[in-house]
Structures are given as structure tokens and as C-alpha cells.
């Protein structure tokens, strides 16, 4: 089982339709047994992909070629004993959410993740708050 975690930036000017991305992801990922988490705030994305090696690779290759984002940096790419994010889930900040409600939701989703993955997400949240 492989876990890949990357960060990227939304392409400026391109209206990012998170619902469309999530719809595509759920449909495709389910078919190949890829699960994980996609976080987006309109400017940045952070995604965890978990599944069999080849399925994660094929999915990531497709995502990496997507013109809706750029500056993709892989933060972790490692072998795991079992899925840390049980099923596909998705957290995004809606226009009515306060930053605190959003952060709380992130933490709840991350409760099952390894300390390394959790730390990466929490660092991102802290950086966003400081910006």
C-alpha cells in the first residue's frame, strides 16, 4: 500500500470548481481503489492518495498534468501498512465557514493519520493563518 502526499497551487485566474474536481476524483478513485483526502482553499491544494502502487501512480500522473494547478511538490511518498484515511474524504472551506470551524473539521478528518501527515497539514493551516 502506497501513500503519496503533495501540495500545489491553483492557477491564478482559473476559477477552481472544487465540486467538479471532487466529483471526478470520487468517480475515478473508487474504480481503482484509491482513497485519501483533498484539501483546498481556492489558492492551494494538498492531497493524500492511498492505494496500490500502480493505481496511485496512474492517478497522480493524471493529476500532475492537470492545468488547473501548478507548482506540484511531493512531500511524502511512502509505503504504509494500511490506509490512514479510511475512505475518500474531502475538506474545503466554504464561504460561510469561519477559519476555526474549518480547522476543527480538518483536525477531525486527520485524527486517524500518522503524526507526519498530521504535522504537514497542521503546518499548512498555521501558515495560512499567518498569511
Ligand X SMILES: Cc1cc2nc3c(=O)[nH]c(=O)nc-3n(C[C@H](O)[C@H](O)[C@H](O)COP(=O)(O)O)c2cc1C
The nearest distance, CB 88 to ligand X, in angstroms, is 8
Q: Which of 4, 56, 63, 113 binds ligand X (CB under 6 A)?
A: 63
DSSP-assigned letters across all residues of 36-49: EEEEE-SSEEEEEE
45 phi/psi in degrees, rounded to 5: -120, 150
CB distance 34 to 26 below 8 Å: no
- What residues numbered 26-55 form the site for ligand X, per CB under 6 A? 28-29, 38, 45, 47
56 closest CA partner among 72, 78, 71: 78
Contact region for ligand X (CB under 6 A) — 20-28, 90-98, 101-109, 117-125? 20-28
Binding residues (CB under 6 A) for ligand X: these are 21, 24-25, 28-29, 38, 45, 47, 59, 62-63, 66, 68-69
Amino acid at each position: 500500500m502506497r501513500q503519496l502526499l503533495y501540495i500545489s497551487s491553483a492557477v491564478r485566474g482559473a476559477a477552481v470548481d472544487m465540486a467538479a474536481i471532487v466529483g471526478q476524483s470520487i468517480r475515478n478513485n473508487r474504480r481503482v481503489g484509491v482513497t485519501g483526502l483533498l484539501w483546498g482553499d481556492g489558492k492551494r491544494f494538498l492531497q493524500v492518495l492511498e492505494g496500490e502502487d500502480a493505481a496511485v501512480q496512474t492517478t497522480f500522473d493524471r493529476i500532475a498534468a492537470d492545468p488547473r494547478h501548478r507548482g506540484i511538490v511531493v512531500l511524502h511518498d511512502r509505503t504504509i501498512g494500511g490506509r490512514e484515511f479510511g475512505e475518500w474524504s474531502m475538506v474545503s472551506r466554504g464561504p460561510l465557514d469561519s477559519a476555526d470551524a474549518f480547522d476543527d473539521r480538518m483536525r477531525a478528518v486527520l485524527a486517524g493519520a500518522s503524526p507526519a501527515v498530521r504535522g504537514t497539514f497542521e503546518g499548512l493551516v498555521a501558515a495560512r493563518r499567518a498569511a
